[in-house]
Amino acid sequence: MVRDSDATRARILDAAEAEFAAYGIAGARVDRIAENAPANKALIYKHFGSKDELFDTVFAQRVLAFVDKVDFDATDLPAYAGRGFDLYEANPTTLRLTTWYQLERPHGQLEAIKASNAAKLNAIKEAQDAGLLTSAYTPLELLTEVRALMMSWHLHTPELAMVRQPARARRREVVVESVRRLVQGDSH
Amino acid sequence: MVRDSDATRARILDAAEAEFAAYGIAGARVDRIAENAPANKALIYKHFGSKDELFDTVFAQRVLAFVDKVDFDATDLPAYAGRGFDLYEANPTTLRLTTWYQLERPHGQLEAIKASNAAKLNAIKEAQDAGLLTSAYTPLELLTEVRALMMSWHLHTPELAMVRQPARARRREVVVESVRRLVQGDSH
DNA sequence: TCCTAGTTAATAACTAGTTAGTTGCAAGCG
DNA sequence: CGCTTGCAACTAACTAGTTATTAACTAGGA
């Protein structure tokens, strides 16, 4: 095998993403990552230091790439939710990674994520000030509910995941329509 | 210490719930559960067989008790969501337990949960047939979105969880109002 | 020849699970 | 009552296997 440090790094990252998505941080096995890369176990430590640092590297790289991929439009949150839905559908491992992160890194504070959130909250505020978006909710409230609806189909317990799901197009429609109803003008 | 098998069992279950909620199945340590119960480690194996069976016992007991506590009213889903919100607020460990279950037991099929889901879906269908609930969504679609909104405030990444949250009463209001908008009559 | 990618094998620490017992309690019996 | 016998609750120490991590080594390329 030809020697290529970068390629080995990339293979390790790919294998690590799959491993961490499947088993989480505590459940992941460095041996299995090495075996699936394939790469020697010692190289993982040479390149990434430790299992935890490897997770952090994988998470930062993949999730941030993910976040960047869906562009945020505060004046059309239903469409944003639809795009987010599409991305989750195409890339379910990223959502799992995020969930593990939430559970196992409860104090994680990635600057890039904070920046992304701040930008979204700010965009919502501006859209509200311009009258292009309901002011029935604060920016944080809106972001919270939209995010929940966006991933709603992935929040099923295993039991509910087993019942026959609607086709993807319909699931998408449900998400988009739900957000539409959420943000529509006051309705009392 | 006086000998009481039932009390010991109960202490182990309490400690196990805390341990599993904090670290998940793979991350949980039997020694730590024994230490925190407090109880001897061997007793855990005598009473529950293995770490996995202990998790299953804890999960079944706690989550099913939880599910039973909030009664479902298909004709008033906003109120149901409000009650569910209250229960999640009062009992955040249960939600964590559920999330771990979803991640680490992707093939779990607890009969009691399936029955509870089936009953809910059925109640929704009947409410729809009686014209008491929107038919814009199927029962599964409605349950999916309502559940997502119900737990929306607990889906934050650590980064978003750090920003100043609204007071509990307001968070509740947001959930209830979101569900109200979701189920209100057609709005095209 | 020197530097870096990659390998091999070892190790120290940890972990789930077991074993071989000890302790307290109560029923049975004289 | 006093004694003992059976039994379940409980315990401490251990084992067999796994895991993350590292040190010592080999080889390829400039």
Give the dihedral sign, CA A5/A10/A13/A19. negative
Give the right CATH number for A70-188 from 1.10.357.10, 3.40.50.10140, 1.10.3470.10, 3.40.950.10.
1.10.357.10
pLDDT value of position A188: 45
Residue ranges of chain A that CATH labels 1.10.10.60: 1-55
Least CB–CB distance from A157: residue in B101, B166, B181? B101
**For the segment A22-77, what is each residue's pLDDT rounded down to a tens digit?**
999 999 999 999 999 899 999 999 999 999 999 999 999 998 889 889 999 999 99
pLDDT in tens, A80-115: 999 999 999 999 999 999 999 999 999 989 999 999
CA-to-C1' span, A107 to D10 (A) = 39
Q: Which nucleotide is nearest to A54 (CA to C1')?
A: D20
Say what the pLDDT of residue B187 is.
46
Q: Give the model confidence (pLDDT) of A123-163 as tens digits.
A: 999 999 999 999 999 999 999 999 999 999 999 999 999 99
Query: What residues does CATH 1.10.357.10 cover in chain B?
Result: 70-188
pLDDT band at B4 (very low <50, low <70, confident <90, very high): confident
- Measuring CA to CA, which residue among A80, A109, A147, A6 is closest to residue B151? A147
Listed in sequence order, the residues at least 6 apart from B119 whose beta carbon sits closer than 8 Å to its beta carbon are B72
Of the candidates A103, A114, A151, which has its C-beta nearest B159's C-beta? Answer: A114
Torsion over CA of A89, A92, A94 and A95, rounded to 10 degrees?
Answer: 90
Report CB contact under 8 Å: A166, B27: no
Q: What is the mean pLDDT of chain B?
A: 94
Contact B154, B92 (CB under 8 A): yes
The CATH code of the domain at A1-55 is 1.10.10.60
Contact between chains at A145 and B174 (C-beta distance less than 8 A): yes
